């Protein structure tokens, strides 16, 4: 009787009979597991991907805080005074003398609290950082919808921190 051998582990199969092999594909259980994982992931990720006022405000405050920290770092590295400048009307901010300025979203309200000598016009002012890391201190307030965030700059240490507050 002729036999077909496809490998060492294969069972003998008659030439004229049909040999059944395992069907290639996925079982119903495997498909259900994958489908369940996709549903859970989409439920978790969907809120993260949709825009919200709180996320917009937090991102804007993060950019302001990052630029303030960069200004402080530059002052320490160059051993000279550096000034963070913000224009509350155009909502642009950056390091004085730098060509790269960032802009806040149009719907974000901004207010600067700083020393009188650091104001340059009605809508523009700054916060100075010194070589030892200290600063003139101040606050950048950001508002959007019912949320408000404060970016506080301590004068003695130059420390920058974000703080949530009630909208004024």
pTM for the whole structure: 0.71
User: How many other CB atoms are there within 10 angstroms of residue 43's CB atom?
Assistant: 9
Instruction: Convert the pLDDT of each residue in 45-84 to its tens digit.
Output: 887 777 788 888 999 999 999 999 999 999 999 999 999 9
The CA R_g of the chain, rounded to the nearest whole Å, is 31
Locate all alpha helices (DSSP H) within the chain, ordered by sequence.
Answer: 28-49, 53-78
Least Cα distance to 129 among 56, 55, 68 occurs for 68
Which pLDDT score is estimated for 32?
94
Instruction: Convert the pLDDT of each residue in 94-121 to its tens digit.
Output: 999 988 899 999 999 999 999 999 999 8
Residue pointed to by tokens 């003398």: 97
Q: Where are the domains of the chain?
A: 53-166
Q: What is the largest CA-CA distance in the chain?
A: 105
Residue pointed to by tokens 């006022």: 53
Range 53-166 classified under CATH 3.55.40.10: yes
Residue 21, pLDDT > 80, answer no
Residue 167, pLDDT > 80, answer no
Residue 3: pLDDT band by 50, 70, 90 thresholds?
A: low
φ, ψ for residue 8 (rounded to 5)? -70, -35
Residue 1: pLDDT band by 50, 70, 90 thresholds?
A: low
β-pairing verdict for 160-166 and 147-153? antiparallel
């Amino acid at each position: 009787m002729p036999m077909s051998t496809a490998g060492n582990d294969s069972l003998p199969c008659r030439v004229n009979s049909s040999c059944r092999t395992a069907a290639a594909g996925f079982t119903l259980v495997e498909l259900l597991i994958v489908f369940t994982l996709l549903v859970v992931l989409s439920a978790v990720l969907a809120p993260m991907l949709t825009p919200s006022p709180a996320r917009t405000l937090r991102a804007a405050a993060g950019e302001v805080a990052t630029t303030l920290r960069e200004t402080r770092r530059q002052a320490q590295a160059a051993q000279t005074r550096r000034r963070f400048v913000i224009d509350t009307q155009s909502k642009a901010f950056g390091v004085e003398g730098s060509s790269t300025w960032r802009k806040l979203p149009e719907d974000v309200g901004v207010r600067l609290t700083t020393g009188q000598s650091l104001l340059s016009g009605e809508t523009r002012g700054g916060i100075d950082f010194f070589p030892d890391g200290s600063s003139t201190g101040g606050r950048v307030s950001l508002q959007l919808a019912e949320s408000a965030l404060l970016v506080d700059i301590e004068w003695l240490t130059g420390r920058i921190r974000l703080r949530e507050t009630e909208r004024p």
